[in-house]
Amino acid sequence: MANFDDILEKSKDIAQTAAEKSQEIYQFSKLNVELADIKRKKQHNFSSIGKQYYDAVKGGKDIPDFTANIEEIDLLNDEIEEKQALINELKASIKSC
């Protein structure tokens, strides 16, 4: 039969593992919120391009330069890839529980 010290040690191990998994789940949730925010910014840039184009065509003006929007979208795509990679790593870690 296990003595009290063994039971206490196992309890500490279980508590430590639970704390680590809770932290991973928190990080997973945080990364998902950040990813959603980045995607929202990307969508805003696409909408801005469309509105500027529409306004220019409708008003008979020259088509504006969208270089800044395109560069921003490229940067946001890079951020999306980075966040998604982190999310995938955490998913694998959480599932191994």
Q: How many domains does the chain have?
A: 1
Residues 6+ apart with CB under 8 A from 27: 90
Residue 70 lies in a domain: yes
Top-confidence residue, 17 or 54: 54
Residue 7 lies in a domain: no
Residue 80: give the domain boundaries.
Answer: 24-95
Residue 11 lies in a domain: no
Residue 48 lies in a domain: yes
Is a pLDDT exceeding 70 seen at residue 1? no
Give the Cα separation of 17 and 5 in Å (integer): 18
Task: Provide mean pLDDT across the span 54-76.
Answer: 96
Residue 9 lies in a domain: no
| Token pair recorded at residue 51 | 């509105």
Task: Provide mean pLDDT across the span 66-83.
Answer: 97
Residue 84 lies in a domain: yes
Query: What is the model's pTM?
Result: 0.78
Residue 4 lies in a domain: no
Residue 6 lies in a domain: no
